[in-house]
Amino acid sequence: MIINMISSGGGSVPTQTKTATPSSTQQTVTPDTGYLLSQVTVNAIPYTETLNGAGGYTVTIG
């Protein structure tokens, strides 16, 4: 439907970019209404290391 609008009307559809950050659950990136996604940036998997009281590191993912 979007393609038909471009070929008949000659006007441009506004685009947008989005950013997603991985998590432990699935997610779907969709454009807002009236927009096309021109770019999706996927951030690195969140990963932190924190020194804990037992003398080691706690690794937290996501």
**Residues in 36-55 that interact with other proteins by CB under 8 A:** 49, 51-55
Q: What is the DSSP string of 4-37?
A: HHHHHH-PPPPEEEEEE---SS-----PPTT-EE
Cβ proximity to other proteins: between 11 and 53 the closer is 53
Q: How far is the CB of 42 from other proteins (least distance, A)?
A: 17
Site for other proteins (CB under 8 A): which residue of 4, 8, 25, 30? 25
Would you state the structure tokens that stand for residue 54, as one six-digit string? 């037992």
d(CA 62, CA 53): 22
Which residues contact other proteins by CB under 8 A? 23-25, 49, 51-62
